[in-house]
Chain A
Amino acid sequence: MTHTLHRIGDVESLKEDYIVQLITSKQIKNRSIRSSSIERFKFTTMFGGFAEKLLKRYPTLRKGIEKALLNYSLGPQIIRKIQDSALKFVMFHLTVFNNEKEFTAYITRLMERNLGPSVVVSGLFDNVYKCLGRAGIHPHTVQFSLGIFGRVDRLPREEILQITTMCGHHLISAGLTTKLFNDVKKGKITPERAAAIMGKQCICGAFNEKRAARVIRANTA
């Protein structure tokens, strides 16, 4: 999927927008990160399903568990293997960061833990390379966006595209975005509330609500 490739915005708008995606190749093992962990744990369908629902219902809890499992390694090797499997079950396939420090810390931990899935990061190339350098990571493959071709005359205005292109599968409509911009201008809702409504339509998690709120605020002042 190209979903985090074509995010529109200038350097200023994009400099606090990093996305990290984890993916296990189906060509290698024919399974996702989560299903391989389920198999390793030999979860029953009922328990695995229950855990999935619980984590989905409480994303803050999930974030806390992920952070703990990622940053604190238990001692014995066998326990660590179980911990790694649990981590792969819990961790978000896609995480958005709003600053270099947290982004760098996360990818550094991923490198140290050596969990196995491929890791793809999205952001301004200059900033990303700087962070990779700090983490001691050498990039393998890059993907450039050559921009939009065709009937660009029919596209909405730039500030709308800055929002809609943040959804990995473009599920946030230009119509909804325009309406919410207008609601903010009229003082009906805050930029943060508008960003939350937009973010609810994005189901892959690539949408950066904080950046969206900044864009809305900058264009409705």
Chain B
Amino acid sequence: MRINLSKCVGCAVCIPFCPVAAIKYTTDKKCQIDQDKCVECYVCYRAEICPEEAFEIVPLEWPRVIRHIFSSPRKVHKAPTISTGILGRGTEEMKTNDVTNRYNLGEVGFTVDVGRPGMGTTIEEAEKIAKAVARVGVEFEPLNPLTMLMIDKETGKFRDDVKKERVLSCIIEFKTKDDKLLLVVDALRDCAKHTNTVFSVGCISRLKPDGIIPIKATLDKAGVFYRPNGKVNIGLGRTR
């Protein structure tokens, strides 16, 4: 994204709209986009806030197009070789677990939303977290756009050409046996001490037939915080 400086009148109305504060008012009394900070989410463009229509979409090449893929909910994910066909950053996760059985009893799923809320991240920062949980022994979700950027799913290592790209957020999605739940939480807590960004952690569990949530007792006993609100797949999905 760029601002056409010949059209910009320096009114600065656009500045607050950027989710990552990438628009700056410069000494020549114009607004400019910091191209390193910009995550190509197109919020500024879609807001239609500029009275002079100075925002211009720039065709994006690889690897910069990664920013737009992960940061714009309207962009369908198309990795170089595989496409999830999913809009936005994520995957179906637990949302369709009633038909996909992606997460089964005896397993715990995790979604680590790196850069959320509102700080953004580089893929390099996400890699640090991916590597840390890989050491615990996890299975990264193959139908996840971020997993598709890994060159080694055993170690969580990403391809070098994307690491410097910045995105609004990206989700590391994986699962493991439920007896490793606390090991993963400890690994994430350790990552938290060294990261330059924030990440929001989700924890997924299938319910037993009697309605018991297997991981809840583990979380409660270990004193792991979880919010009073969350998501529930209510089991109405069917395969045909």
Give the residue of B46, B97, B237 whose beta carbon is less than 8 angstroms from that of A203.
B46
Q: Is B221 an interface residue (CB 8 A)?
A: no
Tell me, yes or no, whether B211 is within 8 Å of chain A by CB.
yes
Q: Are B203 and A120 in contact (CB under 8 A)?
A: no
With an 8 Å Cβ cutoff, the count of chain A residues facing the other chain is 76
Binds B, one of A66-74, A76-84, A148-156: A148-156
B3 part of interface (Cβ distance < 8 Å):
no
Contacting B at CB under 8 A, from A1-30, are: 1-9, 11, 14, 17, 21, 23-30
Q: Chain A 139-165 against B: per-residue CB contact (8 Å), 1 yes, 0 no?
A: 111111111111110111000010011
Given A28-B99, A125-B229, A144-B227, the answer on whether A111 and B236 have CB atoms closer than 8 Å is: yes
Question: Judging by beta carbons under 8 Å apart, are A142 and B213 in contact?
Answer: yes
Question: Contacts of A24 on B, CB cut-off 8 Å?
Answer: 96, 237
Collect the chain A residues with CB atoms within 8 Å of residue B192's CB. 149-150
Known: A139-B235, A149-B188, A151-B198. A11 touches B88 (CB 8 A): no
CB distance from B139 to the nearest CB of A (A): 16
Question: Which among A46-54, A55-63, A170-178, A187-195 touches the partner chain?
Answer: A170-178
Chain A's closest residue to B120 (CB) is A170
Q: Say yes or no for A110: interface residue by CB 8 A criterion.
A: yes
Residues of A within 8 A of B219 (CB): 144
Give B109 Cβ to nearest chain A Cβ, in Å.
Answer: 8
A116 at the interface (CB under 8 A from B): yes
Is B171 in contact with A201, judged by CB distance below 8 angstroms?
A: no
Taking a contact as CB atoms under 8 Å apart, the answer to whether A140 and B92 are in contact is no
Q: Is A186 an interface residue (CB 8 A)?
A: no
Q: Which residues of A contact B213 (CB under 8 A)?
A: 142
When the two chains form the complex, which single residue of B17, B201, B232, B238 contacts A116, counting CB atoms closer than 8 Å? B238
Tell me whether A213 is interfacial, beta carbon within 8 Å.
no
Chain A residues closer than 8 Å to B96, beta-carbon distance:
23-25, 27-28, 118
Contacts A168-B73, A175-B17; is A142 near B207 (CB within 8 Å)?
A: yes
Residues of chain A within 8 A of B238, CB atoms compared:
114, 116
CB of A122 within 8 A of CB of B230, answer: yes
Interface segment, B26-34, B58-66, B111-119, B154-162? B111-119
Chain A residues, Cβ within 8 Å of B117: 6, 8, 148, 155, 161, 164-165, 170
Q: A27-B100, A146-B185, A168-B73 are in contact. Are A118 and B233 (CB under 8 A)?
A: yes
Residues 182-195 of chain B, each 1 if its beta carbon lies under 8 Å from chain A, else 0: 00010011011001
Chain B CB within 8 A of A196 CB: no
A26 to B17, CA, bound (A): 33
* In the complex, chain A residues whose CB is within 8 Å of the CB of B113: 2, 6
Contact between A154 and B234, CB atoms less than 8 A apart: no
Q: Are B92's CB and A25's CB within 8 A?
A: yes
CB of B224 within 8 A of chain A? yes
Q: Return the 9 tightest CB-CB contacts between A and B, nearest first.
A: A118-B237, A140-B235, A1-B90, A25-B96, A149-B192, A175-B16, A150-B198, A146-B201, A144-B226
Chain B positions within 8 Å of A, measured between CB atoms, are 15-21, 41, 43, 46-47, 73-74, 84-86, 88-100, 103, 109, 111, 113, 116-119, 143, 168-169, 171, 185, 188-189, 191-192, 195-207, 211, 213, 215, 219, 224-240
Listed in ascending order, the chain A residues whose CB lies under 8 Å from chain B are: 1-9, 11, 14, 17, 21, 23-30, 107, 110-111, 114, 116-126, 128-129, 132, 137-152, 154-156, 161, 164-165, 168-176, 178-179, 200-201, 203-204
